[in-house]
Amino acid sequence: MASGSKKTGNAAEIDRLALALAKEPGSKVFIPLAEEYGKVGRWEEAVVVLEDGLKTYPGFITAMVALGRAYEHVNQPVKAKAILEEAIKVSPDNLRAHRTLAKLYAAQGAKDAAIRSCNVILSVNPQDQEALALRASLDHAVAQERAQASNHPPVELKRPQSDCPGGEPIFSVVGRAAQVTEKGDDCKAPALMDLAEYVEPGAAVLSLSPQSTSRSSVARLEQWLHLIQSRRRDVSSSPQSTRKTSP
């Protein structure tokens, strides 16, 4: 019953204000009219009224903030953020602007900007429950991101050194199967030999995790290399054997 009478009262007030604005198009009555539209969820009409009013009163902070809030309700966050950011340039402590901006920033993932807007509100009203709750949520999200970043430092891979003179690397891990490089007569690997031929199923690709540089991985790579070198010696010695046995 009370809700019905309130709606009736809002409708009567809207009619009264709309009539007053029609009589005096240049008056600032468009501000309370837009507010009444917002109370009953008629945000599209509030946007129209406010946009028209700002044509007559450009730079009117109250209207700009009201329009930013109306843009948010009609799902136009880009326009809302733009006009509200313009408003706080002129009025940095406008709490209504920061309240809407904090929500917009949080929704867009701009946590630091959202926290700054919450801090402006809390500097004036430290007990503002909405700002306190939003900032607590943002602080928690930022703390989690930093904790995750600290638990996953960049991995630096060291290239194993060979036993060949000069300490030149025989193989290197580059995020895929080990690549055999040629260096020295005793360390040459066949240029066209497919390393995967000697790799056990499921072990051809090495992970970039720290475990990929463990001793066991290095030992396995050396084993593969020795197999390749043995295969190469067998292949290279075959033609010589054939020439010796031929008449």
pLDDT at 239 over 60: no
pLDDT score recorded for residue 188 = 42
Is the domain spanning 2-150 CATH 1.25.40.10? The answer is yes
- Pair 124, 95: CB distance under 8 Å: yes
Distances (CA, A) of 72 to 88, 91, 134: 16, 20, 17
pLDDT score recorded for residue 240 = 52
Structure tokens at 7: 């709606």
pLDDT at 97 over 50: yes
- Residue 116: CB atoms within 10 Å: 15
* Residues counted in the chain: 247
Closest CA relative to residue 187, chosen from 211, 170, 167: 170
- Mean local confidence (pLDDT), 53-77: 97
pLDDT digits (tens, 9 = 90+) for 21-33: 999 989 999 999 9
- Pair 88, 99: CB distance under 8 Å: no
Residue with tokens 């240049």: 26
- The mean pLDDT value of the chain amounts to 77
- Residue 214: pLDDT band (50, 70, 90) is low
pLDDT digits (tens, 9 = 90+) for 146-205: 888 887 655 454 544 444 444 444 444 434 444 444 444 444 444 434 444 444 444 444
Give the contacts of 85 (CB within 8 A, at least 6 positions apart).
101
pLDDT at 109 over 50: yes
pTM metric for this prediction: 0.59
Handedness of CA 96, 35, 17, 48 (dihedral sign): positive
- Mean local confidence (pLDDT), 233-246: 55
Residue with tokens 């084993």: 223
- Residue 221: pLDDT band (50, 70, 90) is confident
Which residue ranges does the chain devote to CATH 1.25.40.10? 2-150
- Write b or e for each residue in 17-56: b if 16 or more Cβ atoms lie within 10 A of its Cβ, otherwise e: bbeebeeeeeeebbbebbbbbbeeebbebbbebbeebbee
Give the contacts of 142 (CB within 8 A, at least 6 positions apart).
111, 112, 115
| Cα of 103 vs its chain's centroid, Å | 17
| Cα of 114 vs its chain's centroid, Å | 15
- Pair 182, 189: CB distance under 8 Å: yes
Closest CA relative to residue 60, chosen from 31, 19, 85: 31
